[in-house]
């Protein structure tokens, strides 16, 4: 079987759309025809070398598709099932899986862009093995993935909606609704009004937040997230965002979510908290990045600084809750999608993200 896919060979180079040879799914795996794939900033970190993975690699970790073939021993999905693909597959038996945090599966991390048996399913024209980002590599017409990555969806939710639930919606909404300290009516600041930040804003609205203060450098993106429930906008390219958030919240917010990924914005999130406030880091900073905090404020004000990965809980469980919110009209996913591209335009899609165009871009690999 052949599949056209967008491959990163070298950092700082455009992705190459090439034809790959694809092996059949092995035991516990399935082949999926990709319906849609989201343009997320995390892939860009890998293109820039500020996030690491083995290369050459098919990028794309936000996606959905239809099961075309199942390998031996697969009973959780069948041919024809429409699935959200999880970018973390849980092994079920490592210490983090067993202690209830499948989104942090250690085996998944160790095997990375290979399948769980440590091998790959893709080969390029030169006979070189090609890895798949997060075991799913969805910037591709088809993908062989672990069956456990697939969350089958009942009903006719559009593929592009399912794709976004695969990363930005779950990461953003989940970071809010699954936070152990969250409570209704809180004041919430969101640093970064992009694809994931939009969904932190929606999560805050679900929690009936008293204030949802969006902070970004880009006014167009701020105006965009107003539609999703931001009550106040702070343009950090014009004003000091820490002073502005403190003023808008009467001295500090209950929660600040970092949804860009930098040491500087992490520090700002801690600074804008009121006593007992919680700063939640959702954005992935460049791996070499460090943060400089005023440490005593954590002590004297009993502030909490914590991370949130993939919605802080079991991705499949969060998918189920989010689909329910979507079907009841409590969150808007379609309205986030502002651009669609064929696979061949994947580099233009990333240029548009980096240029600051608001809303999410989506690739349609079989368009
Ligand atoms: N302060 C506030 N916002 C900022 C700042 C800053 N100093 N610098 C950049 N931003 C904004 C950008 O203008 C953009 O709107 O952060 C936003 C990031 O959004 P996207 O580019 O759409 O990225 P997204 O896909 O949402 O990912 C955000 O989450 O999953 C991680 O790796 C991902 O670190 C990334 C983060
Ligand atoms: Zn993502
Ligand atoms: Zn595990």
Q: Could you read off the pLDDT of 236-248 as tens digits, one per residue?
A: 999 999 999 999 9
Whether the pLDDT of residue 350 is over 90: the answer is yes
The answer on pLDDT for 32 being more than 90 is yes
Task: Look at residue 112 and tell me whether its pLDDT is greater than 90.
Answer: yes
Ligand 2 center to 251 CA (angstroms): 33
> What span, in angstroms and rounded, lies between the C-alpha atoms of 367 and 365?
6
Around ligand 1, the residues with Cβ closer than 6 Å are 40-42, 45, 171, 191-197, 215-218, 221, 236, 259-261, 265, 282-284, 353, 356
Task: Assess whether the previous peptide bond of 56 is cis (omega < 30° from 0).
Answer: yes
pLDDT for residue 114: 98
Encoded tokens for 178: 């699954």
Mark the residues whose beta carbon lies below 5 A from ion ligand 3: 90-91, 94, 97, 105, 107
Query: Ligand 3 center to residue 168 CA distance, Å?
Result: 22
CA distance linking residue 335 with residue 90, whole number of Å: 31
User: Nearest bound ligand to CA 146?
Assistant: 3
Give the Å distance between the CA of 358 and the centre of ligand 3.
Answer: 35
Task: Spell out the domains of the chain, with CATH numbers in brackets.
Answer: 2-166+332-364 (3.90.180.10), 173-310 (3.40.50.720)
Residue 31 reports pLDDT greater than 90: yes
Specify whether the CB–CB gap between 232 and 248 falls below 8 A: yes
Kindly give the distance from the C-alpha atom of residue 353 to the centroid of ligand 2, in angstroms, as a whole number: 13
Give 6-74 as a DSSP string.
EEE-STTS--EEEEEEEPPP-TTEEEEEEEEEE--HHHHHHHHTSS---SSEE---SEEEEEEEE-TT-
What's the pLDDT band for 198 if we cut at 50, 70, 90? very high
* pLDDT for the residue numbered 367: 84
Average pLDDT over residues 195-206: 98
In testing the pocket of ligand 1, which one of 45, 203, 216 has its CB within 8 Å of the most ligand atoms? 216
Asked if 242 and 216 count as a contact pair (C-beta separation under 8 A), the reply is: no
- Which ligand number lies closest to the CA of residue 263? 1
Per-residue model confidence as pLDDT tens digits over 123-137: 999 999 999 999 999
Indicate the pTM of the whole model. 0.97
Among protein residues, the one with the nearest Cα to ligand 1's atom 30 is 283
Above pLDDT 70, what percent of the chain?
Answer: 100
Q: Mention every residue, 6+ apart, whose C-beta is less than 8 A from residue 342.
A: 363, 364, 365, 367
Q: Binning pLDDT at 50, 70 and 90, where does residue 152 land?
A: very high
Pocket-testing residue among 192, 240, 259, ligand 1, by greatest number of atoms within 8 A of Cβ? 192
Is residue 68 very low, low, confident or very high in pLDDT (cuts 50, 70, 90)? very high
Q: At residue 52, does pLDDT exceed 90?
A: no
Give 178's contacts (C-beta < 8 A, 6+ positions apart): 308, 311, 312, 313, 318
The Cβ-side half-sphere exposure at 194, using a 13 Å CA radius, reads 24
Which residues fall within 8 angstroms of residue 50, CB to CB, at 6 or more apart?
A: 286, 287, 288, 289
User: Which ligand neighbours the alpha carbon of 100 most closely?
Assistant: 3
User: How far is the C-alpha of 210 from the C-alpha of 103, rounded, in Å?
Assistant: 30
% of residues, the chain, pLDDT over 90: 98
H or E element at residue 267: helix 263-271
Residues near ion ligand 2 (CB < 5 Å) are: 40, 42, 167
Q: Which ligand is nearest to the CA of 136?
A: 2
| Interval 265-306: pLDDT, tens | 999 999 999 999 999 999 999 989 999 999 999 999 999 999
Tell me how far the alpha carbon of residue 36 lies from the centroid of ligand 2, in angstroms. 14
């Amino acid at each position: 079987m052949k599949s056209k896919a967008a491959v990163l060979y070298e950092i700082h180079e455009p992705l190459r759309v090439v034809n790959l040879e694809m092996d059949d799914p092995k035991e516990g795996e399935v082949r999926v025809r990709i319906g849609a794939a989201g343009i997320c900033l995390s892939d860009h970190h890998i293109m820039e070398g500020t996030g690491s993975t083995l290369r050459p690699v098919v990028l794309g970790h936000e996606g959905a598709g239809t099961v075309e073939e199942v390998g031996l021993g697969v009973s959780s999905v069948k041919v024809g099932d429409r699935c959200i693909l999880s970018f973390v597959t849980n092994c079920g038996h490592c210490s983090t899986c067993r202690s209830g945090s499948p989104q942090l599966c250690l085996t998944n991390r160790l095997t990375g862009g290979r399948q769980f048996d440590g091998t790959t399913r893709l080969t390029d024209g030169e006979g070189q093995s090609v890895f798949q980002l997060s075991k799913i590599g969805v910037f591709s017409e088809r993908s062989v993935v672990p069956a456990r990555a697939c969350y089958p969806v009942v009903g006719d939710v559009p593929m592009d909606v399912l794709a976004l639930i695969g990363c930005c919606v779950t990461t953003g909404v989940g970071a809010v609704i699954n936070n152990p300290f969250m409570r209704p009516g809180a004041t919430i600041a969101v640093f970064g009004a992009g694809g994931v930040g939009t969904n932190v804003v929606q999560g805050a609205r679900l929690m009936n937040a008293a204030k949802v203060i969006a902070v970004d450098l880009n006014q167009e993106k701020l105006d965009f997230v107003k539609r999703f429930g931001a009550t106040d906008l702070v343009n950090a390219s014009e004003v000091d965002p820490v002073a502005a958030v403190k003023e808008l919240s009467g001295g500090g917010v209950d929660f600040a979510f970092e949804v860009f990924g930098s040491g500087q914005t992490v520090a700002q999130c801690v600074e804008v908290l009121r006593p007992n406030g919680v700063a939640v880091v959702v954005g992935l900073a460049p791996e070499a990045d460090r943060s400089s905090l005023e440490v005593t404020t954590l002590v004297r004000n009993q502030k909490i600084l914590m991370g949130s990965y993939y919605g802080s809980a079991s991705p499949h469980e969060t998918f189920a809750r989010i689909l329910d919110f979507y079907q009841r009209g409590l969150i808007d996913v379609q309205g986030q999608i502002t651009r669609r591209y064929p696979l061949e335009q994947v580099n233009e899609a990333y240029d548009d993200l980096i240029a600051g165009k608001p809303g999410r871009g989506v690739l349609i690999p079989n368009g």
